[in-house]
């Protein structure tokens, strides 16, 4: 068996449509962007030695028509607080077959059709055409440094489409304040009504030209826009601020005081917009958007450092 593995390092979180419970086993769907099954079951990705080695099982389910797998891409959704965010893969095994050192690459390769903008520090298994998976296989990989990951994203390319799942990693310590935050992947990519029927508004009632309110579908449409050439500042600000607003609105809690300034900067910027954001109306980066990008970085750090179990 020959399976190629490539490493790609650190991208911003965005544009992933996870399909799975986010709490246990995920089912990846290569036929639709969200929901359903393509017949591949992926277990949690677990570690038993404090993040030095990780392992998971990929199972081709029987009894249904299943396309052969061609690519399997593994990426971080949320690191635990204090975990290194950059790592390479020193070694990996598949059913005990050792491959050794890897060549680092900075692209996901040719034509998988997978949307990987939300995958942080991801790597790819490329399955040859002659590979035939008859039953479960266990994959073990060793990062260059011990890491602690709360949730992972998996992309499965089977047939002519690619779909993604969110699966659990290891537990993180919940912040003592209790004001933890779920990730962008949860609110924008996970199937189902993750917004709990709520909407998100931007702007301030006192000064806004128009208060713009977004539904979950509208938010997901913005999430899925391409990051080719780099993620736009306003898109990053929208996603991070919406994630924070939803987290605390759904729990009936106030946004933490240390985030109020960043949220205010983003809302004040939205005051200046006469057009509601959509995939075709995202403003280009400029000196006017630099402040919202800085504010969104503050929110991003909070989400990473205070991710809910």
pLDDT, residue 110, reads 61
pLDDT score of 111: 62
> What is the pLDDT at residue 206?
52
Q: How far does CA 250 lie from the centroid of its chain?
A: 20
pLDDT, residue 294, reads 93
- 165 is written with which tokens? 């799942």
CA atoms of 288 and 279, how far apart (whole Å): 20
Distances 178 to 27, 182, 306 between C-alpha atoms, Å: 30, 12, 9
Residue 222 has a pLDDT of 93
Predicted local confidence at residue 14, as pLDDT: 29
Mean pLDDT per 10-residue section of the chain, whose length is 309 residues: 41 31 37 45 85 87 77 86 82 68 52 76 76 76 89 84 82 56 84 88 63 91 85 92 91 86 91 88 91 92 79
End-to-end CA distance of the chain: 37
Q: What pLDDT does 13 receive?
A: 31
Residue 116, CB half-sphere, CA atoms under 13 Å: how many? 29
pLDDT attached to residue 279: 92
Domain residue spans of the chain: 4-168, 184-305
Provide DSSP, 55-117: EEEEEE-SSS--PPEEEEEEEEEEEPTT--S---EEEEEETTEE-----B-SS--S------T
- CATH top-level class for 4-168? mainly beta
Neighbours of 88 (CB within 10 A): 16
Q: How far apart are CA 217 and CA 193, in angstroms?
A: 10
């Amino acid at each position: 068996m020959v399976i190629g593995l490539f490493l790609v390092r650190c991208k911003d979180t965005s544009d992933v449509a996870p399909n799975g419970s986010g709490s246990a086993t995920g089912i990846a769907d290569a036929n639709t962007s969200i929901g359903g099954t393509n017949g591949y079951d992926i277990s949690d990705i677990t570690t038993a030695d404090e993040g030095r080695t990780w392992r998971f099982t990929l199972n081709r389910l029987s009894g249904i028509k299943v396309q052969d797998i061609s690519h399997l891409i593994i990426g971080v959704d949320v690191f635990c607080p204090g975990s290194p965010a950059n790592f390479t893969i020193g070694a990996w095994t598949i059913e005990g077959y050792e491959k050794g050192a890897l060549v680092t690459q900075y692209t996901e390769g040719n034509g998988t059709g997978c949307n990987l903008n939300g995958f942080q520090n991801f790597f790819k298994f490329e399955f040859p055409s002659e590979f035939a998976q008859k039953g479960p296989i266990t994959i073990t990989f060793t990062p260059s440094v011990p890491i602690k990951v709360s949730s992972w994203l998996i992309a499965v390319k089977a047939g002519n489409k690619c779909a993604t799942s969110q699966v659990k990693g290891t537990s993180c310590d919940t912040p003592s304040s209790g004001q933890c935050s779920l990730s962008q992947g949860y609110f924008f990519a996970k199937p189902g009504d993750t917004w709990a029927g709520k909407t998100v508004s931007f702007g301030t009632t006192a000064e806004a030209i128009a208060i713009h309110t977004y539904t979950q579908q509208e938010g997901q449409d913005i999430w899925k826009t391409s990051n080719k050439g780099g993620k736009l500042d306003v898109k990053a600000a929208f996603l991070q601020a919406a994630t924070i607003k939803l987290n605390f609105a759904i729990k009936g809690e106030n946004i933490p005081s240390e985030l109020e300034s960043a949220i205010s900067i983003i809302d004040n910027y939205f005051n200046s917009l006469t057009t509601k954001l959509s995939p075709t109306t995202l403003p280009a980066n400029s000196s006017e958007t630099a402040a919202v990008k800085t504010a969104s970085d503050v929110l991003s750090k909070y989400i990473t450092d205070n991710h809910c179990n």
